[in-house]
Every structure is written in structure tokens, then in C-alpha cells.
Amino acid sequence: MKVLVADKFEKSGLEGLKAAGCEVIFEPDLKEESLREAIGRTACDVLVVRSTKVPEPMLDAGQLSLVVRAGAGVDNIDVKAASARGIFVANCPGKNSVAVAELAFGLILALDRRIPDNVAELRAGKWNKKEFSKARGLQGRTLGLLGFGSIGQEMAKRAQAFGMNIAVWSEIGVEVDRSGLPIDLPLLVRLRPISGSPIEPLIHVCQTPEEVAERADVLSVHLALNDRTRGLVNADLLGRLKPGAFFINTARAAVVDYEALAKAVQEKGLRVGLDVYAKEPATGQADFAEPLAQLPGVYGTHHIGASTDEAQEAIAAEVVRIVKNYVDTGRVINTVNLSRQTKATHVLVVRYRDQPGVLAGIFDVFGRGGVNVWETENIVFNGTEACVARMNLDQPPSEEALSKAMAANPAILDIQIVPLSAPASSYHLARNLNA
């Protein structure tokens, strides 16, 4: 299997792909037309990218069957176009969570203690202790988290260590226990003693993003970009923050209305830490003019949230695991574009002797009857003499058609149709083995 790696990638990952039996083509500087040309030229089966964009034309350039995003999120890949072509899209969720959380907390601390301004004054030969002695501190403040996946939970752990209260909201919901606390976190993180009093909640689960903003002294965004989250942090939500509150975005720029954010910085005195921007350069080094980053009280980094040695090694190992599993089994783990819904109305269960052509005969019946198979599972019994196949169908084949299929192939022992609703209407065909 040929694997084209079209972005910066760890040496350990390249070696791991080769050890998995792959032919690896490493061309980390491919972009746009050069990437499209390389996909066709190499006839690769698998494409691995980090931030490089993979639009629809790339997917028609060769014979791709799998695109792996070496990181979290897949917004740089045209997933809809890949799905229409039967191309798997997979990513590496959670492997850079600690790295992103560390940077986000670094930005929070930098904002609170004005560390970049301190450094700039010292480098300019100025001593200004009187000015920089002013800071609010983090203990007792509330960290608001929009998003409570793996990165959000890493943020919660660090906030607990700083003695912060936490308010969270997640677009997919947060499962809580009977006391109303998230069940995904260890007890140390979920609860803390306060001034010798009985243990009280540290985390408050909010019902809306607006509620988080109203509670937060620091609001940090950790949401994936999709149709529901695009522009979620808008003027109304920012307007609910307290004057002088901190705002952090290490997720995706398009989740936030940056024009509204610039206005909030100027009118409400928000202090902001950013790692992502609306129009980032496509290369590692370039001129860059972001008006928001020029405002007083706004600190920025260069989209480096996942850029630690630990995170990159973990991501490389996960890419190898995904590709190796695909090579060995044909299955893709961490797939993001498999349907979670089905139009199936019935399940067909076929028990049969393990002989060639049995299922082909069943499929022939379906084809002539206009029945579509959504999913198929085949299980082999001990001794490999008999099997059972389960098929999800969009409609039931007629009892007459299946009776003919059984009569035509004595290897079929039993056929059962199970409706996914109204089970009383099911029917069952069994061969008389004593006849």
C-alpha cells in the first residue's frame, strides 16, 4: 500500500509506516496544485496531512481510499466529497490535548501577569515594577470552557490545580452524576475542599454557552469547527462577559467572530490570547498582518497549540496505528465520515453451511427485487463448517423470493426476517433437516 505524507511528520511515524509494510512517499512541502499532481503521480492509496487543505479536486486526482489528518479535527479536508467517493477520512483525536491545554494556560497566565509586556520593557532597558505589580491572580476565579472533550477536560484539571472554579458547556452535552457533576473526570478534579468545609462542587455544568460567558472570568474555546459551532462566539455572547475578562481561543478561528471580538477588546477592555486566526499563511514563515493581534491587551502565538515533541510523537504513533489497521484488516479506526444513521427497515439473518456462492445467491434475489443492503456482517462458527450472516435492508424481500432462494441452494439452513419496528410482522423460514 502506498502512503503519501504531504506535511511535516515525525521520523518515528515514517519508520512505523514502513515497518507496517507500506511504501512511503514523504513530500512535506506539497500544497494545492503540487499536491494534486503528486496524488496522481504516485497513485497513492493513503494521504496523510496535517494542516494542508484537501479539497474536492484532490480526491479525484488519483486512487485514494483513505485520508488521515495527523491531528484533531478535519476541517481542512472536504469530508462530504470524500464520503461521496467512498474515501475514508480519519483523524487522531485526543493526542494533542495536553499540548493545547498547556498553551492555553500559558496564555491565561501571560494575560494575568502581562508577561510579554514585562519582557518587552526589560529588553527596552526599562524597569517598571510599579506598573506590572498589578494583577488579579487566578485563584478563586471562574474558568469558562466552551467544549468539554479531551482538551476541555485537560483544561479543567489544570484549573483545579490553580484553585479556579469551572463552568462548562459542550455542544454534545456533558453527562453528569446525581450531584450534577461531570462523570468523565476523576474525583480529585470533580471535587475540592473549600476552607475546611464539606467538599463542594468545583465544576458547574451550564445549559447554554451564554450562561458560561456570564459566569466566566476567563472564557476558553475548545470546540471543533462544524456547521453548529461556526460563528458561535458572536457579539451577543462576548457582550455577556464581564468588563476586563480574559478570552482564549486555541481551537478554530471560524468559531469566533473576530470583528466582534476586536470591538469587545476596545469597548469592554477584554484581554485576549489567540493561537488561531482567520487568514493564516499557508507556509511556516511569511509576512502576517492580523489587525486584532495589534490591539493592546491581545497576545498571540503562531498556531502552535499541538507543536510539542510529546504531542507530535503521539500523533505519529496514532497515524501508524490507523494505517496499519487498514493494511491488516481493511477497517479504518477513528473514521469521521461513516454514517451514524441508517435507512434500514429490516434485518435479514441467514444461517448456512460454509460453501461458495451462498450469499451471492441471496444478493441476486435482492438485486432482482430492488432491495438495498445497508450493512452486512458475517460470523463463522467453530469448526468453520457453518456461518450466520446479518444484513440490514431498506425493505424486506418477499417471502416467495426467499423461499425460492432456499429451494435453489441446500446450503441455506435458516432465514429469518426481523423488522426494526412492528416485530409481530416478522417471518421465519427454516429447512427441514430431517427430510
Q: So which residues are the catalytic ones?
A: 252, 280, 303
Q: For residues 37 and 29, what is the distance between their CA atoms, to the nearest angstrom? A: 13
**Buried b / exposed e along 385-420 (16+ C-beta atoms within 10 A):** ebbbbebbbeebbeeebbeebbeebebbbebbbeee
3-state secondary structure 61-94: CCCCCEEEECCCCCCCECHHHHHHCCCEEECCCC
Q: For residues 361 and 372, what is the distance between their CA atoms, to the nearest angstrom? A: 14
Number of neighbouring beta carbons within 10 Å of residue 430:
12
Interhelix angle 115-123/97-113, rounded to 10 degrees, is 60
Rounded to a whole number of angstroms, the distance between the first and last alpha carbons of the chain is: 50
Q: Taking Cα atoms as reference points, which of 239, 219, 313, 234 lies closest to residue 16? A: 313
**Buried b / exposed e along 167-196 (16+ C-beta atoms within 10 A):** bbbbeeebeeeeeebbebbeeebbbeeeee
In 88-210, beta strands by DSSP E = 88-90, 142-146, 165-169, 191-192, 200-201, 203-205
* Residues 290/265, Cβ–Cβ less than 8 Å: no
Is residue 327 helix, strand or coil? Answer: helix
Q: Taking Cα atoms as reference points, which of 107, 46, 81 lies closest to residue 250? A: 107
Task: For strands 386-393 and 298-300, give the pairing.
Answer: unpaired
Chain-centroid distance, C-alpha 361: 40
Q: For residues 241 and 247, what is the distance between their CA atoms, to the nearest angstrom? A: 9
